[in-house]
Amino acid sequence: MILGALEAGGTKMVCAIGDETGRIIDQTSIPTTIPEETMPPIIEYFKDKDIKALGVASFGPIDPDPSSETYGYITSTPKPGWNNYNILGELKKAYDIPMGFDTDVNGSLLGEVTWGSSKGLSDAVYITIGTGVGGGVLSGGNLVHGMLHPELGHMLMVPRRGDHFAGRCPFHKNCLEGMASGPAIGERWGRPAKELADKKEVWELEADYIAQALMNIILTLSPKRIILGGGVMHQEILFPMIRNRVKEYLNGYIQAALLEDIDNYIVPASLHDDQGIMGCIKLALNALEISR
């Protein structure tokens, strides 16, 4: 059975086809410019693939509530051209098939708990730290939505002593995204993150902000695992720093066996950067099952 997958990112759109085992058969990448330029090649890609369902995991904020008038929309994004854009509706004009729709980070989380090293977990959090910062939450086996969906990248940070960077988020300044995203690193230090790999002070500060966020997540959501992905997390030096800072911030308040094995509690994404597109395949599979 052939399933379609669209990982709609702010920089690029990854289109793929796969099967019910999560195997990726073919994929391509299309730059994210404006909808009028980006959507036609996406629709064309799936045209001759005979897909039975399509899973879409999109940058946001989005409206994931099927009962809402704006279900399937990208809502208050600052990305030019995509504000209040009905991405799912545009795809439905072209294809009369079941479609699943969620956030890009929920898609990545779904990929990890379906086919990755966190397979089978019922309570987990996935954080992506790259051009932006976002988080997906699985609780009791269900992806968390609620009013809209979690926006873990926008929890406010306590600026570290000596860090005078105001934060670059246009909405909140010193939120996690504003202080710890890839562009925030570049703006703070005057060079792109990839050119700062040997600067320990860069990653100690980065680890501090990420650890603040993870402490908040542990105390509020109590996940059984936290998965960290995105381009910034390719700096492997970050993981031991983050784990140590999380333990320092928690200060012994939480007594749990999982935290005693923190190397297996705060972990990197395991699907070689395919977790998002594999999560889209799972969204498509879920949509197909619901439609039957």
Per-residue pLDDT averaged across 136-141, rounded?
A: 97
Single pTM value for the model = 0.94
DSSP 152: G
On the question of pLDDT at 59 being above 90, the answer is yes
The predicted model gives 239-259 an average pLDDT of 95
Mean pLDDT of 143-153: 91
Model confidence at 147, in pLDDT bands (50, 70, 90)? confident
Average pLDDT over residues 236-258: 95
**Cβ count within 10 A of residue 259:** 16
The residue-averaged pLDDT of 15-21 equals 97
Distance of CA 240 to the CA centre of its chain: 22
Percent of the chain exceeding pLDDT 90 equals 94
**Residue that has been written with the tokens 């073919």 in this structure:** 26
Tokens 């190397």 correspond to 263
β partners of residue 139: 142
Average confidence (pLDDT) over 40-62: 96
Of 22, 28, 23, 21, nearest to 7 (Cα)? 28
- Which one, of 128, 34, 47, 17, lies nearest residue 74 by Cα? 34
Distance (Å, rounded) from C-alpha 36 to C-alpha 20?
Answer: 31
Written as six digits, the tokens of 183 are 């562009």
- Grade residue 146 by pLDDT with cuts at 50, 70 and 90: confident
pLDDT value at 78 more than 90: no
For residues 220 and 3, what is the distance between their CA atoms, to the nearest angstrom? 36
- Average pLDDT across the chain, whole number: 96
In the chain, the percentage of residues whose pLDDT exceeds 70 is: 100
Which residues make Cβ contacts (< 8 Å) with residue 94, sequence separation at least 6? 43, 46, 47
Hey, what domains does the chain have and what are their CATH numbers? 3-107+273-291 (3.30.420.40), 117-268 (3.30.420.40)
Contact 202, 231 (CB under 8 A): no
Whether residue 259 contacts residue 250, with contact meaning beta carbons closer than 8 Å, is answered with yes
Region 80-89: mean pLDDT is 96
Q: How many CB atoms lie within 10 A of CB 65?
A: 16
Going by C-alpha positions, the residue among 35, 85, 27, 24 that lies closest to residue 60 is: 85
Strands (E), the chain: 3-8, 12-18, 24-31, 54-58, 73-74, 85-86, 99-103, 124-129, 133-139, 142-143, 226-229, 266-268
pLDDT at 4 over 90: yes
Query: Do the strands 124-129 and 133-139 form a parallel or antiparallel pair, or are they unpaired?
Result: antiparallel
String of DSSP letters for 201-267: HHHHHHHHHHHHHHHHHHHHH--S-EEEESGGGG-TTHHHHHHHHHHHHHTT----HHHHTGGGTEE
Per-residue pLDDT for 148 more than 90?
A: no
Distance between CA atoms of residues 241 and 37, nearest Å: 42
What confidence category does residue 52 fall into, taking pLDDT thresholds of 50, 70 and 90? very high
